[in-house]
Amino acid sequence: MNKTAIITGASRGIGAASAYAFAQAGYHLSLCCSHSSSDLKQLAAKLQAEFHTEVLTFTGDVGDHDFVHEMVNATISHFGHVDMLINNAGIAHIGLLSDMTIEEWNHIIANNLTSVFSYCKYVIPQMVSRQNGKIINISSVWGNVGASCEVAYSACKGGINSFTKALGKELAPSNVQVNAIACGVIDTQMNACFDESERAALAEEIPAGRFGSAEEVAHLALQLATGNEYLTGQIITLDGGWI
């Protein structure tokens, strides 16, 4: 029986790289994005052609609890089960907290943190019923240490880290593992705001001397998906030794 993975925020970056890695490993996929529907469909077509896997695509707001419910239900209805959930979707917000509006705060919390709750809520029952499943939450080093002018983003990622530890304990008796990857500076569109001099200065701060790649995050996610069932409730930092 083919395994099935749900990957959120899959039209680009870490999500797209994860979709490629899991398709290559033989997984059927259920992918979503918020806006880039054409990019997501192009990715799905490429994966289907290259790896002969089935791919469902959804476009919607992961911060919308009803959208998440519909996506998960459609995925389970089509494939029969979900073996793997990668909560990757997220947005950034840079600026002083005192300048942030309550609408901006609620928006980032809904997309980065509430979405994790929603997907887990609807995926978990069938994982527990089957006594098998894995959940990987894509977090950030800012969830470990916080970042100036990224208070809301840091709060979301810190929340994801605590969520991961608690849910890992809750689901361990059911043989469902929950872990998080706390990423450092990954070379994705989210970090495209840096100019060349800023990128060079930032790379110098990182002991590995470079940004990480989306493919490296995806490879670690795949290792967690296929690896040790005794590993759960952990925040695994992938940052080239930076933090």
- Kindly report the three-state secondary structure assignment for every residue of 7-40: ECCCCCHHHHHHHHHHHHCCCEEEEEECCCHHHH
pLDDT at 191: 74
Residue 29 falls inside a structural domain: yes
Q: Is residue 243 part of a domain?
A: no
| Mean predicted confidence (pLDDT) in 206-212 | 96
Q: Which amino acid is at 146?
A: G
Phi first, then psi: give them for residue 6, nearest 5 degrees. Answer: -95, 130
The domain total for the chain is 1
Classify residue 147: in a domain, yes or no: yes
pLDDT band at 1 (very low <50, low <70, confident <90, very high): low
Q: Look at residue 12 and tell me if it is in a domain.
A: yes
Q: Is residue 207 part of a domain?
A: yes
CATH code of the domain covering residue 96: 3.40.50.720
Average pLDDT, the chain: 96
Helix axes 65-79, 115-130, angle to 10 degrees: 30
Higher pLDDT residue, 206 or 196?
206
Mean pLDDT in residue range 211-221? 98
Q: What is the mean pLDDT of residues 8-29?
A: 98
Q: What is the pLDDT of residue 227?
A: 80
pLDDT band at 213 (very low <50, low <70, confident <90, very high): very high
**156 domain residue, yes or no:** yes
User: What letter represents residue 51's amino acid?
Assistant: F
pLDDT reported for residue 195:
81
Q: Is the pLDDT of residue 193 over 80?
A: no
Catalytic residues: 153
Q: 185: domain range?
A: 4-238
pLDDT tens by residue, 30-51: 999 998 899 999 999 999 999 9
